[in-house]
């Protein structure tokens, strides 16, 4: 029996890593085998491309190059990690997936939501998340949180207006896929966020 594919989405400082651990713990307690992974990354090639995408480089990177590198890493990730795990009956929790490219490059970089969605439809027409937890919070709050944990990467150095466009991109995704995307108010306390994540998982798994 095929496993379920769950993705965690959100802008900087939303608490995606904590959300992955909350989801992992609940699913394992419920008796599921769980594979946790991330994008960009998840494979040797993917992690190398992640370093390129997040590092500071002279001259920056064009939006087109950025989105194509994201999808190159994703192509490897899908075939080497995600599909095999799902086919084996494992539940996969992925920190970001194609929704991130739609929000960050399609909306944030201005490439166009529909154009990036077309790339996703070409790369994985038969693979979509079964459930997406969108950790949503005000941009300024998220950036303040992110600034406390580590030195900013190339994305975190972007201006507030960029992240406002990204957040709007996620809102568009949620409106287009209301049955798949569950918005989680990530401005709440950690305990409240965890409770909301578990509630979403219970509803998805039809557990009372």
Q: Which residues belong to the annotated binding site for ATP?
A: 10-17
Coil, strand, or helix at residue 36? strand
Contact by Cβ (8 Å): 40, 73 = yes
Q: State the residue for tokens 């590198």.
A: 69
Tell me how far apart the alpha carbons of residues 66 and 104 are, in angstroms, rounded to a whole number.
Answer: 10
* Strand runs labelled E in the chain: 5-10, 34-38, 91-95, 131-136, 181-185
What residues form the annotated binding site?
A: 10-17
Q: H/E element holding 72?
A: helix 63-77
Q: State the residue for tokens 């995704």.
A: 173
Sign of CA dihedral 202, 28, 41, 196: positive
């Amino acid at each position: 029996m095929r496993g379920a594919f769950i993705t965690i989405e959100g802008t900087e400082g939303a608490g995606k890593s904590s959300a992955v651990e909350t989801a992992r713990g609940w699913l394992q307690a419920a008796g599921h085998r769980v594979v946790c992974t991330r994008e960009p990354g998840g494979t040797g090639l993917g992690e190398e491309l992640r370093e390129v995408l997040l590092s500071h480089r002279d001259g920056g990177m064009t939006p087109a190059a950025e989105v194509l590198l994201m999808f190159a890493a994703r192509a490897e990730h899908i075939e080497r990690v995600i599909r095999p795990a799902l086919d084996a009956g494992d539940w996969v929790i992925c920190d970001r997936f194609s929704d991130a490219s739609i929000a960050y490059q399609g909306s944030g970089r201005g490439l166009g939501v529909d154009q990036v969605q077309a790339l996703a439809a070409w790369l994985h027409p038969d693979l979509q998340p079964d459930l997406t937890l969108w950790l949503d919070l005000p941009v300024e709050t998220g950036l303040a949180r992110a600034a406390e944990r580590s030195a900013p990467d190339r994305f975190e150095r972007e201006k507030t207006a960029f992240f406002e466009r990204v957040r709007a991109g996620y809102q568009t995704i949620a409106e287009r896929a209301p049955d798949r995307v569950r918005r989680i108010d990530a401005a709440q306390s950690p305990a409240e966020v965890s409770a909301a994540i578990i509630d979403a998982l219970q509803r998805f798994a039809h557990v009372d």
